[in-house]
Structure 1
Amino acid sequence: MFNPSREQVRNFFIAAWRKQHASEALTAMESMAVDIISLHPEYHPMLEDPEAVAREFSPDDGQVNPFLHLSLHLAIEEQLSIDQPPGIRAAVATLQLARGNRHDALHEVLECLGETVFNAQRNNAPPDGAAYLECVRRRGG
């Protein structure tokens, strides 16, 4: 299982964004990351700051961790590409129709995924794929 460090994840997004701007070849995963980053212009300056790798983003300060946000987006895109958990692709398609916008729908999926990961950590258990899928389906109406 791939288990990158915080710095490796942050460097991955920063390097992908830099490579995009330098017109360098991107891997499939970097291309997916760049597509996600492109949807978040509010993160562009941070991704161009070499000191961002060490920066702390505290929810107690009301800050969203942009690297976590991008990572969750990337995880969702991977889930959709293989329909894992089974049915996620259809549930997201329904949610997208309900919201009328793919990115808005994905942010709702991101909330469900974040809740699923939080519950797994809190309960010291694996993520509950069925609960995650049900959360997405509920949001799709």
Structure 2
Amino acid sequence: MFAPSQIDVRRFFCGTYRKWRDALPLTPMEALAATWIEAHPEYHAELADEEAAVGAVYQVEDGRSNPFLHIGMHLSLTEQHQIDQPRGVRQALDLLAAKLSSQHEAHHVAMECLGEMLWESQRSGLPPDGHAYLDRLRQRATR
């Protein structure tokens, strides 16, 4: 199983940004990541400085968004959509994208639902509840 470290993930995103910016060939995973990197120009300066990015600390109290977490969540949601896991997530994301007229904005709403599920799992010590996540997502898509 592939289990990259935080440093590996940050180097991957910074390297992908560099290759995308310089119009170099991308692997399929890099191409997918580049789609979300391109959609977030507010992160380009941080992605451009790999050594600073590797050592950066992102805390909610500082009011700084973590670009690696954010882009990583976009990738996770893209994969969930592609493989429909948990089952029904594709339909919920599609409904939400239609409602918001934006796949990107649908992802941002889904990130909130995903973040809530992960926070509850960490707080309770129980595995993430995919059903609760999907229920939240469906509620957001249909209200």
TM more than 0.5? yes
Match of 1:60 in 2: 61
Deviation at 1:25, TM superposition (A): 2.0
Range moving further from structure 2, 129-138 or 113-122: 113-122
- Percent identical pairs in the alignment equals 45
Match of 1:96 in 2: 97
Match of 1:10 in 2: 10
**3-state DSSP class of the match of 1:4?**
coil
Deviation at 1:101, TM superposition (A): 1.4
Describe the superposition over 1:6-42 as per-residue Cα deviations: whole angstroms up to 9, x where unpaired. Answer: 1111111001111112332211111110001111010
Match of 2:22 in 1: 22
The runs of 5 or more residues in structure 1 that have no matched partner are none
Match of 2:140 in 1: 139
Structure 1: distance between partners of 2:122 and 2:53:
26
RMSD of aligned alpha carbons: 1.1
Q: Which runs of 4+ in 1 moved over 4 A?
A: none
Structure 1: distance between partners of 2:3 and 2:127:
15
Deviation at 1:119, TM superposition (A): 1.4
Residue 22 of structure 1 aligns with an amino acid whose one-letter code is D
Describe the superposition over 1:55-113 as per-residue Cα deviations: whole angstroms up to 9, x where unpaired. Answer: 11110112211111111111111111101000100001111111111111110001111
Residue 70 of structure 2 aligns with an amino acid whose one-letter code is H
Match of 1:119 in 2: 120
TM-score (normalizing by structure 2): 0.93
